[in-house]
């Protein structure tokens, strides 16, 4: 008796033909979707434009400023805005426009640099703490909790005294105080993601821990990470200004915005423009980053929208 | 306060003590790995007197022994002696300064809470009107402008009035202690955080005023003042409380800069001065005080939860 062989499944040509692109809704990745929502947010777009302008200014300042940022006695000291010096001259007769331009380069490098370094530390430690839990988590969490008990400016100040005031050192000092928030965020994300089915699936086919963390958990936590990293930039810029105000920022004659404000403070009454110009640049940059941060937060996770 | 609350507070106080000791121990150990102290910069023409100085500060001992001496002083509340102003005991000095910082800090917290909450409530009950837009925009701009910029702006806005009123911007030169010296630095310190509180208050008010019990309150014919302030605000404040802890830490951080700018003789200014002159004993002392201060502030915030929400008990 011959066993009956099931007839091969008949699949009509119709199903095998590629679906024409008109029938499918447009395919959009998560990030394309987020970008689209971000560009629909007016404040975020304004923020991006402002950041773009400052970034351009910063790049230009490396090759050209109207006057060298350090050249003194270009005219009467404390002179207000004139045609030759649109933002006026400071207490040494230096051109404030040139110095604000140079300051943009310092502010952006410190802001973006510190944010990147802090994010890198925070992501790695957060992933380790959340994924392995146990002893590693206890050590990292204790470190975070103790650090939260001290204002971070104090730690940064000590570090700057310790390692010196070069711009890399400032970035490092700020990053060492700023990674805590990122580590907390990534730890929390990892703790919940590691229990999900796709992680279990990855483990079931023998994926190594490193690969699970880097290829499965990290990409899924990237949204909140990007938002947090964006907020870290303005925070670091303000932090650098704090350090400069206290006389421990990027050393003069480098044109740091905070340093310019602190030099002009003693002449606030007679020449307010010396203080106001860098403060305006600083506040605008911080505002722009906060707008973009808010926009990103709403775009990446609409549920977080207020 | 119930018995449970008291026990909870006592436990937290013990924890704060340990955190303060841990923080200052880390700083102590870290700092003692550094080369040089305030003494190192002095002229060394007399080896005998230098040895005497080193001995006076126990700097001739290995750091482990120094640590034991220092920690036994700490548990008795003795933070040692300043290395720059020899003979000055640090504990009474910092106790005097912490009072100044506390006055300023509490005034700043008051600014934050009063400005932030009124702006937030106003924006929420007039949602999507020009009041809301103005308040919300003010809030975003407000927290992007750092405290020291607020200080410059406030001084500039009232230049002649300000100088006539307070006698100058460097309070150290004219003597600290007059009440009219407090408002400007307190506003400068509080306004950025007031903006954060305003955003949060608005968001949580908007959630609360849509709930049924608020509709009931309106239906009973209660006045809008009672509905908004008594029924809605009280519940809307609970999420705002959670931000108050980090916010107080932020105000303390900002106060370092503001005290330095205005020459206010508080803890923050002492920290900057001592770190610049490498007066490490004072630096460690300030850290200890700050750690305790942050802990106590967070405890105070946590004790407010059961006041707002009786379901929360410790």
List the end-to-end C-alpha distance of chain A, in Å, as a whole number. Answer: 72
- Please state the φ and ψ torsions of residue A15, each to the nearest 5 degrees: -80, -25
What's the Rg (C-alpha) of chain B? Answer: 24
Q: Is pLDDT at A224 greater than 80 in this prediction?
A: yes
Of B156, B253, B257, which is closest to A268 when you measure between CB atoms? B156
Residue of A nearest to B137 (CA): A43
Instruction: Mutation target for A interface from B36, B108, B138, B152: give the one with most A CBs within 10 A.
Output: B152
Would you tell me how many other CB atoms lie within 10 Å of the CB of residue A77? 16
Lowest mean pLDDT among A27-31, B46-50, B188-192, B244-248: B46-50
pLDDT in tens, B241-255: 888 888 888 898 889
Tell me the nearest-neighbour CA distance from A221 into chain B, angstroms.
23
- Is the CB of residue A21 less than 8 Å away from at least one CB of chain B? no
pLDDT at B65: 84
pLDDT at A115: 97
Q: Is B121 helix (H, G, I), strand (E, B) or coil?
A: helix
pLDDT at A287: 94
Is the pTM here over 0.90, yes or no? no
CA B221/CA B212 separation, integer angstroms: 14
Considering A53-57, B2-6, B178-182, B197-201, the range whose residues carry the highest mean pLDDT is A53-57
Q: Is B81 helix (H, G, I), strand (E, B) or coil?
A: strand
Q: Is pLDDT at B80 greater than 60 in this prediction?
A: yes
- Is the CB of residue A109 less than 8 Å away from at least one CB of chain B? no
pLDDT at A108: 96
The answer to whether the CB of A80 falls within 8 A of the CB of A224 is: no
Lowest mean pLDDT among A10-14, A16-20, A78-82, A172-176: A16-20
Please indicate whether residue B60 or residue B71 has the higher confidence score (pLDDT).
B71
Determine whether the interchain pair A276/B156 forms a contact, defined as Cβ–Cβ distance below 8 Å.
yes
pLDDT bucket at B108, cuts 50 / 70 / 90: very high
A235-252 as b/e: b if 16+ CB within 10 A: bbbbbbbbbbbbebbbee
Of A157, A242, A272, which is closest to B156 when you measure between CB atoms? A272
pLDDT bucket at A19, cuts 50 / 70 / 90: low
> For chain A, how long is the longest CA-to-CA vector?
112
Determine whether the interchain pair B22/A146 forms a contact, defined as Cβ–Cβ distance below 8 Å.
yes
pLDDT bucket at B42, cuts 50 / 70 / 90: low
Tell me which DSSP letter residue B41 carries. Answer: G
pLDDT at A117: 97
The answer to whether the CB of A172 falls within 8 A of the CB of A115 is: no
pLDDT at B163: 67
Q: Is pLDDT at A306 greater than 50 in this prediction?
A: no
Give the mean pLDDT of chain A. 87
How many degrees, rounded to 5, is the angle at CA B290 between CA B289 and CA B292?
65
Cα dihedral B284→B290→B293→B299 (10° resolution): -100
Please indicate whether residue A163 or residue A302 has the higher confidence score (pLDDT).
A163
Please indicate whether residue B136 or residue B60 has the higher confidence score (pLDDT).
B136
Please indicate whether residue A38 or residue B50 has the higher confidence score (pLDDT).
A38
Kindly state the average pLDDT of the residues A234-242: 94
Lowest mean pLDDT among A284-288, B131-135, B175-179, B185-189: B175-179
Q: Which of residues 212-241 of B touch A (CB under 8 A)?
A: none
pLDDT at A305: 45
- Concatenated DSSP letters of B227-280: IIIIIIHHHHHHHHHHHHHHHHHHHHHHHHHHHHHHT--SHHHHHHHHHHTT-H
CA A233/CA B81 separation, integer angstroms: 40
- Is the CB of residue B256 less than 8 Å away from at least one CB of chain A? yes
How many degrees, rounded to 5, is the angle at CA B81 between CA B76 and CA B84?
160
Residues of B in contact with A291 (CB under 8 A): 140
Residue of A nearest to B159 (CA): A269
ipTM of the complex: 0.85
Kindly state the average pLDDT of the residues A88-116: 91
Tell me the nearest-neighbour CA distance from A177 into chain B, angstroms.
13
- Concatenated DSSP letters of chain A: -PPPPPPPPP--HHHHSPPPTTTSPPP--HHHHHHHHHHH-HHHHHHHHHHHHHHHHHHHHHH--SS-TT---SSSTT----SSSTT-B-TTS-BHHHHHHHHHHHHHHHHHHHHHHHHHHHHHHHHHHHHH-HHHHHHHHHHHHHHHTS-HHHHHHHHHHHH-SSHHHHHHHHHHHHHHHHHHHHHHHHHHHTTSHHHHHHHHTT--HHHIIIIIIHHHHHHHHHHHHHHHHHHHHHHHHHHHHTT-SSPTTS--HHHHHHHHGGGTTT-HHHHHHHHHHHHHHHHHHHHHHHHHHHHH-GGG--
Residues of B in contact with A242 (CB under 8 A): 146, 148, 253, 256-257
> For chain B, how long is the longest CA-to-CA vector?
87
Kindly state the average pLDDT of the residues B283-311: 88
Kindly state the average pLDDT of the residues B157-178: 69
Which pairs with CB-CB distance under 8 Å and at least 24 residues apart come from A2-5?
A: none
Tell me the nearest-neighbour CA distance from A232 into chain B, angstroms.
13
Of A162, A247, A283, which is closest to B145 when you measure between CB atoms? A283
- Please state the φ and ψ torsions of residue B265, each to the nearest 5 degrees: -75, 65
CA B269/CA B97 separation, integer angstroms: 9
Residue A95 bridge partners (DSSP): A89
Tell me which DSSP letter residue B169 carries. Answer: S
Determine whether the interchain pair A245/B145 forms a contact, defined as Cβ–Cβ distance below 8 Å.
no
Closest CA to A281 of A70, A43, A116, A50: A50
Please indicate whether residue B78 or residue A239 has the higher confidence score (pLDDT).
A239
Q: Is B296 helix (H, G, I), strand (E, B) or coil?
A: helix
Tell me the nearest-neighbour CA distance from B221 into chain A, angstroms.
30
Please report the number of interchain residue pairs, chain A to chain B, with beta-carbon separation below 8 angstroms. 106
How many degrees, rounded to 5, is the angle at CA B219 between CA B218 and CA B220?
90
pLDDT at B39: 64
Q: Which of residues 133-152 of A touch B (CB under 8 A)?
A: 146, 148-152
pLDDT bucket at B263, cuts 50 / 70 / 90: confident
- Please state the φ and ψ torsions of residue A89, each to the nearest 5 degrees: -120, 155
């Amino acid at each position: 008796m011959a066993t009956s062989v099931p007839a091969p499944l008949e699949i009509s040509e119709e199903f095998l033909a590629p679906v024409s692109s008109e029938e499918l809704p447009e395919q959009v990745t998560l990030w394309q979707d987020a970008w689209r929502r971000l560009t629909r947010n007016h404040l975020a777009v304004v923020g991006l434009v402002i950041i773009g302008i400052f970034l351009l200014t910063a790049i230009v300042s490396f090759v050209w400023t109207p006057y060298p940022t350090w050249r003194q006695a270009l005219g009467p000291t404390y002179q207000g805005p004139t045609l030759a010096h649109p933002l006026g001259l400071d207490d040494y007769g230096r051109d404030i426009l040139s110095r604000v331009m140079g300051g943009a380069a310092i502010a952006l490098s410190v802001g973006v640099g510190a944010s990147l370094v802090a994010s890198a530390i925070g992501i790695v430690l957060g992933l380790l703490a959340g994924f392995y839990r146990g002893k590693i988590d206890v050590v990292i969490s204790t470190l975070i909790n103790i650090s939260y008990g001290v204002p971070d400016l104090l730690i940064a100040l000590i570090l700057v005294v310790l390692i010196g005031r070069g711009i890399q050192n400032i970035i490092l000092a700020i990053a060492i105080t700023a990674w805590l928030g990122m580590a907390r965020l990534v730890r929390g994300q990892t703790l919940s993601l590691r229990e999900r089915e796709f992680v279990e699936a990855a483990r079931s086919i023998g994926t190594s821990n490193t690969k699970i963390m880097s290829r499965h958990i990290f990409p899924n936590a990237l949204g909140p990470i990007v938002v947090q990293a964006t907020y870290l930039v303005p925070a670091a810029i303000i932090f650098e200004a704090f350090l400069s105000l206290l006389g421990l920022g990027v050393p003069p004659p480098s044109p740091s915005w905070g340093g310019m404000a602190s030099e002009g403070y003693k002449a606030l009454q007679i020449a307010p423009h010396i203080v106001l110009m860098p403060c305006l640049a600083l506040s605008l940059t911080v505002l722009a980053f906060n707008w973009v941060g808010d926009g990103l937060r709403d775009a990446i996770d609409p549920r977080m929208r207020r | 306060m119930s018995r449970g609350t008291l026990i909870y507070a006592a436990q937290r106080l013990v924890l704060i003590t340990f955190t303060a000791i841990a923080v200052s121990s880390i700083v102590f150990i870290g700092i003692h790995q550094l080369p040089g102290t305030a003494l190192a910069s002095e002229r060394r023409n007399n080896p005998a007197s230098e040895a005497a100085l080193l001995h006076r500060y126990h700097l001739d001992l290995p750091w482990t022994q120094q640590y034991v001496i220092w920690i036994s002083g700490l548990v008795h509340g003795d933070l040692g002696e300043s290395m720059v102003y020899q003979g000055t005991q640090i504990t009474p000095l910092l106790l005097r300064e912490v009072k100044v910082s506390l006055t300023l800090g509490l005034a700043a917290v008051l600014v934050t809470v009063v400005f932030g909450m009124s702006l937030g409530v106003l924006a929420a009950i007039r949602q999507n009107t020009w009041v809301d837009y103005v308040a919300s925009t003010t809030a975003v701009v407000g927290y992007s402008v750092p405290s020291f910029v607020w200080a410059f702006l406030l001084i500039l806005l009232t230049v002649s009035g300000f100088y006539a009123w307070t006698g100058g911007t460097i309070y150290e030169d004219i003597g600290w202690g007059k009440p009219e010296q407090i408002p400007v630095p307190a506003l400068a310190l509080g306004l950025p955080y007031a903006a954060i509180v305003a955003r949060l208050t608005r968001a949580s008010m908007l959630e609360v005023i849509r709930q049924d019990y608020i509709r009931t309150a309106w239906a009973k014919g209660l006045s809008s003042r009672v509905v908004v302030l008594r029924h809605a605000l009280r519940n809307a404040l609970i999420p705002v409380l959670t931000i108050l802890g980090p916010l107080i830490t932020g105000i303390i951080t900002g106060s370092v800069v503001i005290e330095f700018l205005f020459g206010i003789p508080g803890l923050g200014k002492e920290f900057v001065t001592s770190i610049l002159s490498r007066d490490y004993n004072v630096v460690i002392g300030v850290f200890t005080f700050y750690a305790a201060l942050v802990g106590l502030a967070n405890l105070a915030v946590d004790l407010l939860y059961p006041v707002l929400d009786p379901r929360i008990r410790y």
